[in-house]
Chains A and B, each alone.
Chain A
Amino acid sequence: MTRNPTQFALFSRILHWLMAAMLLAMLFIGVMMVASLGDYHRLLVIHRPLGIMILILAVIRLVNRMFTTLPPFPPTMSQRERFLASASERLLYTLMFALPLVGWGMLSAGHYPIVMFGPVHLPPILPNNPTLYTVLRKTHTILAYLLFLTFLGHLSAVLFHNLIIRDKLLSRMALWPIRSRKVKIEKN
């Protein structure tokens, strides 16, 4: 099996972009929902199952992350940058798990049924408790803003590499295959 090692595995790339779209949509749905009277319900109906889908994908992604070889960091990344990239990756993974779980726990503690769609409901994962509900509800908001800030940091690093350093960092995650010059030469 041949894999171009300058790129992440195809499945990893698909997961990355799928979850990027879902997480960003989720963040916008979340902030719009809590500020809206008229659209609150129709957004909430999307928010809950989308959150659980993100949680499921986060599990798949973590397992995939543990069992796939990653392309190495490009030489244009300093040691400190590599450390920051790894730390922010860990933070993003943590938030991908924490946000849906806190949401689920918060609804449980708030005595809400956890409705997915139609007859599909999830069981509560925490006991009814007003204080617990309050803490988790606030945590949910704080983590959402933290996720948004982490996303902005992630995006700024990619833009900086692609537009300023011009090391084509983004091609590591491109959905289409990128063949480096070196590979072409070897094949020729």
Chain B
Amino acid sequence: MKRIHMNTNEPNENSGPQPAPLRPAKLILRLTVIGLVLAGIAALFLYAGGWFTPHALSPAVMINTFEKVNGEHPGFRRNHAKGVCISGYFESNGGGTVLSRAAVFLPGRVPIIGRFALAVGQPYAADAAHTVRSMALLFKQPDGQEWRTGMNNIPVFPVNSAEGFYDLLLASAPDPATGKPDPAKMGAFVAQHPEFAKAIQLIRAQPASSGFADSSYNSLDAFCFINAKGTALPVRWSMLPVQPFQPLNPTMPGKSDTNQLFDALIADIHSHALQWHLIITVGQPSDPTADATLPWPPDRQRVDVGTLTIDHVESEDTSPARDINFDPLVLPNGMAGSDDPLLSARSAAYAESFIRREGEPKSPSAVSTAETAK
């Protein structure tokens, strides 16, 4: 075998003599081919990025619509904009280990950071009795994995798709002339989304509780738990309050007190730690997992896996929870999303909202540090 030395080989490295120059017609043809290939790839790339379909429902369009409907409130979450931050711990009783191998279900405590909020797009809106209340939590496992969840105090979600949510957002936007949603638009929405009418009946049938502390919070979307044996189960979860249910005060809302619900929550936490039982509802194969408007039959197995204790409340102005995206698909090993299309849509829209608000100047929260100190 001959060893070929680079320096001696360099002049001969091309296969034979240089080809003759291309004829002009061929040259133009080949240059055109090159141009088309490059333009085609670039066009495909831009198409994939949605550049040719700016009005298709994307995370950016969804968040733009929130900004259009609610006005621009830089630095705040685009939805569930008004809130207060909390911390505490979750004490697992070990009962969840048969359902999921997530470390959060091993007996013992994991720290919690979270946020209570009202499902409004305006961060300074006055508390209203029938506004949806939410509880967002981040469970930090000892191994560093996290479980983030955002739950609402309604039994089912009003729509079952991102498109439905977008349509509802537009249909229920207040008409600038009347300050109330346009009944015609709402009517058209209901006709187009039959799932909404059924869901809203279930939502209205639920008795209203007095505040954040005695509300139940539900995952609404279905998830999948995977246990140590690798068995996957469809689940939904709820936080059931230890605090006894009290019916909503009919005089609410008091117009002079815009933070009525938050102030009551703060006073409650200052007087004693608040607790909820984490209940995992195990679905059957026949139960719908892709439709958050449909409840599961009431006889499904419900497992109390531990107790959430909230013993600290803090304004968004100082809490690190302000800068946490409570993305429902941040899950530890042993949990996964389901085929519910709302999950990926929430994840994407929350991310878009997070990207925008993290880069914006911050204004003080309606629930101020002075208020949380009271």
Contacts and interface: CB of A to CB of B under 8 A. Distances in A.
B10 interface: yes
Contact of B59 (A34, A42, A134, A155): A34
A22 B314 CA distance: 45
Q: Which 4 A-B pairs have the closest CB atoms?
A: A31-B49, A35-B50, A40-B348, A134-B359
B52 to A, nearest CB: 11
Nearest to A180: B15
A41 B344 contact: yes
Contacts of A34: 49, 59, 348, 352
Specify the main secondary structure of chain B where it touches its partner: helix
Contact of B45 (A134, A148, A155, A164): A148
B48 A113 contact: no
B348 A37 contact: yes
Contact of B344 (A38, A137, A163): A38
Contacts of B4: 2, 4-5, 183, 186
A6 B50 CA distance: 42
A118 B333 contact: yes
Counting chain A residues whose Cβ lies within 8 A of the other chain, the interface size class is 35 or more
A147 to B, nearest CB: 11
Contacts of A74: 13-14
A80 interface: no
B33 A163 contact: yes
A72 B6 contact: yes
A35 B11 CA distance: 50
Given A119-B145, A182-B13, A134 B355 contact: yes
16 contacts: A31-B46, A35-B58, A37-B345, A37-B349, A41-B329, A75-B13, A113-B330, A115-B330, A119-B143, A119-B145, A130-B358, A134-B355, A152-B41, A159-B34, A164-B22, A181-B16
B46 to A, nearest CB: 8
Interface string B51-62: 000000111101
Interface of A: 2, 4-6, 27-28, 31-32, 34-42, 44, 69, 71-72, 74-76, 110-113, 115, 118-119, 121, 123, 128, 130-131, 133-134, 137-138, 148, 152, 155-156, 159-160, 163-164, 166-168, 180-183, 186-187
Contact of A159 (B37, B60, B323, B354): B37
B195 interface: no
B341 A163 contact: no
B144 A111 contact: no
Interface string B1-12: 111101001111
Nearest to A149: B42
A111 B325 contact: yes
B146 interface: yes
Nearest to A45: B329
A137 B145 contact: no
B36 to A, nearest CB: 11
Contacts of A118: 333
A103 to B, nearest CB: 13
B359 A164 contact: no
B14 A2 contact: no
